[in-house]
Amino acid sequence: MIPTLFVLAYLAIVLYIGVFAFRQSRGQAEDYFLAGRALGPWVFLLSLFGTHMTAFAILGSSGHAFNFGIVTFGLMASSSAFVVPVLLLFLGTKLWAVGKKFGHITPVQIFRDRWECGHIGTLIFFLQAALLIPYIIIGVMGGGTTLSVISGGLIPFWAGGLLVAVVVMSYVFFGGMRGTAWVNAFQTVLFLTFGMIAVFVIGNGMGGFSTIAEKMLNDPKTAHLLSREKFSPLAFLSYTFNPLSAIAFPHIAIFCLTAKKMTQFKKTVMLYPLCILLIWLPCVCLGVFANQAQEIPAMAAKIDMKMATGRPVVADDVMLQLLGHFAPEWLAGLLGAGIMAAVMASDSQILALSTMFTEDIFTFYGARERFGQKAQVTTGRLFIVLVTAFAYFTALNAKASIFDLAVQFSFAGFSAMMPLYVGALYWKGSTKWGALAATIWVAGATIALFYAPRGFTVMGLAPVVPMTLGAAFLLWMVSILTPKPSANTVERYFSV
């Protein structure tokens, strides 16, 4: 009961932050959707990181590590620690500069202006929206799972998911980007602080990690979880393509436009790898060592099922089970709130979708001129309600685990869209027809992936590799065969 009260108190605090941000707002579109392009350096770092680390990073990573072992850290964390800051340094700063220079708010606005296109931008909007929805759904799933486990089943999955969806929707609805950024910064501090405490408390409760590691190494059934022997080098290599999605995620790209000065990227680029290390290492360690937590009935059932079938089991709640069993109630409550903080990072994705809809569709097709800026913000808020409701009802029937959902659709699709950003910002010769070819390729490949069997590979490589390389090839091939944008437009973008 006590942990549940802590989590509910936490939800009340973030709701208040959203309302407080609402009082600071000025009612303008740029103020609501980009916090007036005025976020300071620390809020920018903590909030951007909090936006990137979601239910996937906390619950999905420990669940995946429970099934596959330490390889999870190499697959997603250490590759992200290198690739994501590089993307922020070379693409994030350029996005910020172009957004600042020409007043753009969304990636599609940049593409439309850079390639002198209209409806191709609309197609890119629809693809981005379709790929982002699964990511919003896993946020609702994570919220439902967290509240259900922490309350010992007192709050069922459907009610937990509903409560989280309503709270997130409310502070995004009122606070816009400013509220979302403040909440994300608060969440990141909360989780970084209590995540480390969780490791020590749970480690002690389990009898010390050294003892567990020795036990696991001496048991042939679990020894492989402490190395990568069961994972092919090609599959391992292909996972390094997943972090390319970071800059193509609309919520990250849009967030890059909120910085007050470009120098604010410096701190973010330098500290990002360490933040990733601090979040992922504890989660992966706890996920792996949970294979020895036989004294927890729910964990014993998972371990037995895994051993009996030889197949991975749904384990998104591993971290929460360990917490509930080994931490004192007050600490479990604080840590539960911290986990909830990370899980609720779907706020920025919901806001990004709303921003994209109001800018790329509502404004582009003339509605802002007819109805004004206030109507645009109101439309954005209505869109937030609709997206949240859709995500909630879909999450109730989702069958896959958080890790699988994120990797299979969102990461693969957005990684394959990354060449569009490189083409638009770094290659004078790229054209709208090249962008169209790449977009159709990504859309087609994602649909094909939906029907492909789980774990499908192409010559041993995960689908993200051919999807990304195919998009890059088509962008290049079609661009060299088709007419370029006007010299004036190219000059505007490349006169640095």
Partner 1 sequence: MKIAIPLLLLAYYALHQDFWNWTSARPLLFGFLPIGLTYHALYAIGAAALMALLVKVAWPSRLEAWAEK
3-state secondary structure of 461: strand
Q: How far is the CB of 225 from partner 1 (least distance, A)?
A: 9
Residue matched to tokens 């009260």 = 5
> Which lies closer to partner 1 via its Cβ, residue 207 or residue 297?
207
- For 169, other C-beta atoms within 10 Å of its C-beta total 22
CB 260 within 8 A of CB 39: yes
Q: How far apart are CA 198 and CA 254, in angstroms?
A: 33
> Which lies closer to partner 1 via its Cβ, residue 211 or residue 378?
211
Q: How far is the CB of 367 from partner 1 (least distance, A)?
A: 29
Tokens of 140: 């609702």
> Which lies closer to partner 1 via its Cβ, residue 271 or residue 398?
271
Tokens of 478: 């079609």
Q: How far is the CB of 288 from partner 1 (least distance, A)?
A: 9
> Which lies closer to partner 1 via its Cβ, residue 73 or residue 409?
73
Q: How far apart are CA 250 and CA 10, in angstroms?
A: 27
3-state secondary structure of 220: coil
- H or E element that contains 266: helix 264-289
Q: How far is the CB of 237 from partner 1 (least distance, A)?
A: 6
CB 59 within 8 A of CB 402: yes
Q: How far is the CB of 100 from partner 1 (least distance, A)?
A: 4
> Which lies closer to partner 1 via its Cβ, residue 71 or residue 416?
71
Q: How far is the CB of 42 from partner 1 (least distance, A)?
A: 17
Q: How far apart are CA 427 and CA 433, in angstroms?
A: 14
CB 138 within 8 A of CB 60: yes
> Which lies closer to partner 1 via its Cβ, residue 309 or residue 495?
495
> Which lies closer to partner 1 via its Cβ, residue 84 or residue 334?
84
- For 455, other C-beta atoms within 10 Å of its C-beta total 10
Q: How far apart are CA 496 and CA 491, in angstroms?
A: 9
> Which lies closer to partner 1 via its Cβ, residue 244 or residue 377?
244
3-state secondary structure of 482: coil
CB 94 within 8 A of CB 378: no
Q: How far is the CB of 426 from partner 1 (least distance, A)?
A: 12
Q: How far is the CB of 447 from partner 1 (least distance, A)?
A: 30
Q: How far apart are CA 428 and CA 411, in angstroms?
A: 27
Q: How far is the CB of 295 from partner 1 (least distance, A)?
A: 19
> Which lies closer to partner 1 via its Cβ, residue 261 or residue 381?
261
Residues that bind partner 1 (CB under 8 A): 70-71, 73-74, 77-79, 81-83, 85-86, 89, 93-94, 96-98, 100-101, 208-210, 212-213, 217, 223, 226-229, 233, 236-237, 240, 261-263, 266, 269-274, 276-277, 281, 284-285, 495-496
Q: Which amino acid is at 225?
A: L
- H or E element that contains 135: helix 119-150
State the virtual CA torsion across 386, 391, 397, 400 in degrees, nearest 10: 160
Tokens of 146: 């967290």
Q: How far is the CB of 226 from partner 1 (least distance, A)?
A: 4
Measured at the CA of 411, the angle between CA 159 and CA 117, to 5 degrees, comes to 110
Q: How far is the CB of 7 from partner 1 (least distance, A)?
A: 30
Under DSSP, the state recorded for 224 is G
> Which lies closer to partner 1 via its Cβ, residue 100 or residue 381?
100
CB 435 within 8 A of CB 120: yes
> Which lies closer to partner 1 via its Cβ, residue 233 or residue 483?
233
In angstroms and rounded to an integer, the radius of gyration of the C-alpha atoms of the chain is 22
Residue matched to tokens 């486990």 = 149
